[in-house]
Amino acid sequence: MSKRTIRYYEEIGILPSPERSMGGTRLYRQEHVVFLKRISTAKEVLGFSLQELQHFISHIDMLESKKADYKKVTNPRERMEKLNDMIKILDGQLELLEEKVRKILIVQTELVTLKERGRSAIKKIEAELLKK
């Protein structure tokens, strides 16, 4: 990931702003590195657009907040409520991934169909050439 990309993510609010040194240099911590790896995976491997990426990151932020709340609570009913909240957030992330998978499968089906049509056309041409 380039410096420019990292700064852009910071500018649009995807990446939290890091602390700065006295000279103004950004001081990234390990949590920033982990966060950037998540972003990179979501963008490159999952093919998320910037909008999808922002949505995905907001779910991660909400989940982290709920996890912190859960750790503070000792009442079993409240703990169960916090866990249910986390499950709802995870459902949202899973829906986003499932939609992406559906779109990928549509493209895959189109490519397989096109490939089969190409092979069929080749067989027809080969049959015509054998007749001659």
Which tens digit of pLDDT belongs to each residue from 18-71? 899 999 899 999 988 888 888 888 888 888 888 888 888 888 888 989 999 999
Q: Quick check: 15 and 39 in contact, CB under 8 A?
A: yes
Q: Quick check: 74 and 93 in contact, CB under 8 A?
A: no
Instruction: Please give the Cα distance from 89 to 95 (Å, whole number).
Output: 10
130 pLDDT more than 80: yes
* Whether pTM exceeds 0.75: no
| pLDDT value for 132 | 74
% the chain with pLDDT above 90: 52
| pLDDT value for 110 | 97
